[in-house]
Amino acid sequence: MTNIAFIGGGNMATCIIGGMLANGFSAHQISVSDPGEQARAAIQNTYGIIATADNHAAVAQADIVVLAVKPQVMAAVAENLARSLPRHAAVVSIAAGIQLSDLQRWLGPQQGIVRAMPNTPAMVREGATGLFANRYISSEQRRAVETIFNAVGISCWVDSEALIDAVTAVSGSGPAYFFLAMEVMQRVGEELGLSPHTAQALTIQTALGAAKMASAGSLDTAQLRRQVTSPGGTTQAAIEMFQAVGFEDTFRKAMNAAVDRAQSMAEEFSRKP
């Protein structure tokens, strides 16, 4: 039985814990540490998990330690925790912009570490998480880490740490791209005369339905788009306008901006002592 310790009991940690408990994990397998008294009380009342303010106590029996703290405090938390980590434990960081080299500098050069990039739909158990492990993580540990993140959606391993930045651009930041498109669709629907309620309901259901069709897997997204786009029809008129204003190029620039920012964040945190 794998024991998992969460350092930090914020939104992402608690949504992962909720998914784990719904997928066969026992509350006895999970420990949580958080400095906030209200956060600890909420975790204990909601999930029946003992929460503590002592990071060292939380990890004492852990097989996997999930570092779910803000990037700005990661160095201090990791360095303080290093002396208490069980030798066999795998450490999983879900902090954006914190590189393996820095985590190993703080935790120890031979520490088994996984970088994970989950996204906010994990909160409704529809998340997508990118994973990359250093060479000290065993196959068994990789499977255990997968099980944790598959409890709130899907997980995918990437072949190099640099690809975590691509994961950030695609799925980490991706929900906001869809939310922005939905905002605009709803606003324009209202401008065209729909009530706010109707514009919102149609937009949300359309996004949900399109995602379900794409996830069915029988056709790729390009084929699905062509199915909807009748020659000379309304959809073709809309698609041609998107193409005329450089929709794909704009999207490419936006996603590359996310990658650039992820890389600059990594440099900023790497410069911290």
Query: For residue range 161-171, what is the model confidence (pLDDT) as tens digits?
Result: 999 999 999 99
Residue 199 is predicted with a pLDDT of 98
pLDDT of residue 109: 92
**The pLDDT of residue 217:** 80
pLDDT of residue 271: 65
Every domain of the chain and the residues it spans: 4-166, 174-265
> Nearest CA to 65 among 24, 31, 96?
31
The pLDDT, as a whole number, for residue 1 is 66
- Is 189:202 a contact under the CB 8 Å cutoff? yes
**How buried is residue 196: exposed, middle or buried, by Cβ count under 10 Å (0-12/13-18/19+)?**
exposed
Same fold, 4-166 and 174-265: no
**256 phi-psi bin (left φ>0, alpha ψ -120 to 50, beta other):** alpha
CA distance 162 to 165: 6
Which tokens sit at 216? 């069915």
pLDDT tens profile 131-158: 999 999 999 999 999 999 999 999 999 9
Which amino acid, one-letter code, is at 27?
A: A
Spacing of C-alpha 46 from chain mean position: 22
**pLDDT number for residue 272:** 59
CATH class for domain 174-265?
Answer: mainly alpha
- Long-range Cβ contact pairs of 48-55 (< 8 A, separation 24 or more): 49/17, 51/9, 55/7, 55/80, 55/81, 55/84
Beta-bridge partner residues of 127 = 153
Q: In which residue ranges of the chain is pLDDT below 70? A: 1, 271-273
**What pLDDT, on a 0 to 100 scale, did the predictor assign at position 218?**
84
- What does the pLDDT read at residue 269? 79
User: Strand, helix or coil at 219?
Assistant: coil
CATH code for the structural domain at 4-166 = 3.40.50.720
Looking at the DSSP assignment, which residues form a beta bridge with residue 156? 130
